[in-house]
Amino acid sequence: MTHYRAVKGTRDIFPEEVVIWQYLEGVVRRVASLYGFHEIRTPVFEYTDLFQRSIGATTDIVGKEMFTFQPDPRSRSITLRPEMTAGVMRAFLQKGMASSAPVHKLFYISDLFRKERPQAGRQRQFCQFGAELIGASSPPAVAEVISYMMHVFRDLGLKGLKLRINTLGDLEDRHRYREALKAYFSPYRDELDEPSRERLEKNPLRILDSKHPRVREIVAGAPLLTEYVRPEARAEFERVLGYLDERSIDFVEDPLLVRGLDYYCHTAFEVQCDELGAQDALGGGGRYDGLARELGSRQDLPAVGFAVGMERLLMAVEKQGLLSSLTALGPEVYVVLQDAALVDHALGLCGRLRDAGITAEMDLAGRSMKAQMREANKTGARHALFVGSEEVQKGVYGLKNLSSSSQESLDLEAILRQLGNH
């Protein structure tokens, strides 16, 4: 034991769990390649104003959840990335990627940092997989992005997920709606909870997300965003829904869905999973055509994307019992020494096996044969290879199949031939 502990809201991932992570990441990557999404990796920190500008100064993320620091008194403020979209767009614009092709399809599996109160499903360092399609946000582009996300869930075997979807209209629609909400909620000011009161001036749309019982009652009578979305935007949204229908992706239209980041316009969506408890949002995303201009581009750049929390994804697959067949792959061969003096010979054997592409392990702690056999079984090794002084002299070793318990005496060449074919 040590008195040092992992920082609250962070966690270690030990080898047994890494197997699960690698499996999830493998599915994410494989499905990405089916759809033609290519991986992008951006720095873990960016200048703070990038996030203020893109996520929005009045959002919870920028207002209270960012890890921000100044490397020295004269340098620009820096923030650990709380999400990926801003950094990906920054990288896209910086490299001038638009000039190389009209549409780019990017995906990522990346660690992020938010100073939220840690609880189940909510950490201060967490991981997301996500995708950003930049250069198009037409209904087929939106459907493509949602299909990629849902395909990953389907391949993992997840059931009972709820895709909620809404249209936020364009910036002007949202502006009119925001004013209408302010006018509606203002007479209720004293009945609102503290966070909602704060949002009333700065970001009244977020009141719609409130889980507070009285606020929910008030929200029930609020004007709906749909009434403020113009017919052209509505028609485009209907086309998105049509594509989802064609691909047999179930969804629920939810006029109260807003999302906690400011860059969205038109289609926004979220996926909910009942097994996750209070933090039931598995992922979310939407269109963000105005973000490029916010970051200095001369024109709007159509774009759409999503992100899914990997820890929550892991929790969901675990709770739905979809991981039972996943176990760490033990070595093909565990070399068992009769006595510690043979360690050099055994190391040589391991080297020959590994050079031939056969996974091999041996005891490095000088333990008894019995302890070595226990270890061989524990690691899930498929064979034990016995090395005693007689074996070394003759160059013939006992190779035991640990599942059938059958044993043969073979020289190294025969062992390499037999296990190499495996």
Give least dist CB 146 to ligand HAM, A.
11
Q: Please state, in angstroms and rounded to a whole number, the distance separating the CA atoms of residues 88 and 112.
A: 13
Query: Least separation, in Å, of the C-beta of 260 and ligand HAM?
Result: 6
d(CA 284, CA 288) in angstroms, rounded, equals: 13
Please tell me whether residue 403 adopts helix, strand or coil conformation: coil
Q: Which of 49, 106, 104, 100 shows the shortest CA–CA distance to 75?
A: 49
Q: Which of 261, 313, 283 is nearest to 21 (CA)?
A: 313
Cβ 310 vs Cβ 109: under 8 Å = yes
**Least distance to ligand HAM, CB of residue 263, Å:** 8
Q: Which is nearer to ligand HAM, 265 or 349 (CB)?
A: 265
Closest chain position to ligand HAM (CB): 309
Site string for ligand HAM, 132-171 (x = CB under 6 A): x---------------------------------------
* Minimum distance, C-beta of residue 28 to ligand HAM, in the bound complex (Å): 14
Interaction pattern, residues 244-263, with ligand HAM; x per rule: CB under 6 A: ----------------xx--
Distance of CA 173 to the CA centre of its chain: 32
Contact between 305 and ligand HAM by CB under 6 A: the answer reads yes
* E-only strand ranges, 185-274: 252-253, 265-272
Q: Which of 169, 283, 330, 331 binds ligand HAM (CB under 6 A)?
A: 283
The one among 133, 282, 346, 399 contacting ligand HAM by CB under 6 A: 282
- The encoded tokens of residue 46 equal 């960016």
Please report which helix (H) or strand (E) contains residue 385, including its range.
strand 383-387
DSSP string, 99-134: GT-S-EEEEEEEEEE--PPPBTTB-SEEEEEEEEEE
Query: What is the distance of C-alpha 186 from the center of its chain?
Result: 39
Token pair for 28: 């994410």
Q: Which residues, 99 to 128, sit near ligand HAM by CB under 6 A?
A: 114, 116, 122-123, 126, 128
CB of 307 to ligand HAM, least distance (A): 4
The answer to whether 391 contacts ligand HAM (rule: CB under 6 A) is no
Q: Tell me the window of 16-24, 198-206, 281-289, 369-377 that interacts with ligand HAM (CB under 6 A).
A: 281-289
Residues interacting with ligand HAM, by CB under 6 A?
Answer: 83-85, 114, 116, 122-123, 126, 128, 130, 132, 260-261, 281-286, 288, 305-309, 311-312
